[in-house]
Structure 1
């Protein structure tokens, strides 16, 4: 799915002037160019982005309400896309979600730019809150929906808090990605985590 299509799906029916994916791409590339040149995130203003991308400020504000929303889309553009869920079983859906998280972890490790930007975001509460609300939280809700379907289908117990189950699945991968950068994120890790957690969550006969 393209960036323009992703934004349109999130925002609902289009209003006003149609979006131009080429213009959006030029603006996002302008932000990345500034960051790659070593400009601190706090100094990447809308005016500076507009000059770099060769567009007017109004063109940017027609697409993004401000710097926070723009930066969230920049990070989305350089991350692996959210996975399509197979829908064949709880295990298959959880594997798809966790494997996507593993690939994001690898991307963070291989991209000094992405790692640096995310580190800088945490020192800017408004920007970090916007990223959490528009990127992190929707992914959490999606995973919790998958887990609730697993409860409804009898694949996992119904006597455990879904938020806790979410932490049990995502925690090990996030721990290795954020707190243990020396730990492996090898192929097969997602299967190991999902199977180990599911083993403890299956309904008792």
Structure 2
């Protein structure tokens, strides 16, 4: 018999994980975080909420921190899609609305639960940076690059500062300001994004549809 294992043996030994169970565990993590915060979250509580054993959980994530980091990545707003609307105003409007929506609802509750812990947890802080800040910087850079190529604006020396103009007001509004309910946040998300749009456009030298955006 050769040293090469049959495909059947290889499949049995490399059995893929159940994606649905992974999603259930990450959803349970979010629910427990929303109820108890990071300090009150335990792997036992997450496993019980998901209806699995703690052994099942630990086969996927080796610690509470690893589980929370996975949940951060899974439930952060998806800003990877970068639609080209044909104008800088349109690109930034979609980005702002996406970011506002990402800081409300389930992902907003997750971020609120983790921000305090991130102040003294480097791994978690890096995960939140990857979820909150890096995608916005990438999207802004892409929108600005297209706008420069179209001749809408002049090249910018520091695109990251423009991303900060998107992130800062959104975080202040939705994560640091007390609101009566998540429902109010969700309803206010698009309006907040649209009110912020003219300021971001002026910062990059663009114009809004009314023609009064940008600096002379």
Range class of TM-score, shorter chain: 0.5 to 0.7
Alignment check: 8 A CA contact 1:98 1:190 kept: yes
Offset of 1:164 from its aligned partner?
1.4
CA RMSD of aligned residues (A): 3.8
Residues in 2 aligned to 1:108 and 1:30: alpha-carbon distance in whole angstroms? 12
Describe the SS at the equivalent of 2:155. coil
Q: Could you tell me which residue of structure 2 aligns to residue 201 of structure 1?
A: 204
TM-score relative to the length of structure 2: 0.63
Contact 2:76/2:131 (<8 A) preserved? no
Unmatched tracts of structure 2, length 5 or more: 1-13, 207-214
Q: 1:178 to 1:120 in 2, by over 3 A?
A: closer
Structure 1 unaligned spans of 5+: 1-15
1:188 partner SS: helix
1:167 equivalenced with 2:170 (yes/no): no
What is the distance in 2 between the residues matched to 1:188 and 1:35?
28
Residue deviations 1:160-194 (CA, integer Å, cap 9, x gap): 31111222233333332244446983643323322
Deviation string, structure 1 residues 56-84 (Cα, Å, up to 9, x no partner): 55643554454333213334555554474
User: Structure 1-normalised TM-score?
Assistant: 0.66
Distance 1:62 1:82, change over 3 A: farther
Contact 2:29 2:71 in 1 (8 A): yes
Other structure's SS at 2:163 match: helix
1:138–1:64 Cα change, 3 Å: farther
Larger relative contact order (CA 8 Å, sep ≥ 6) = 2
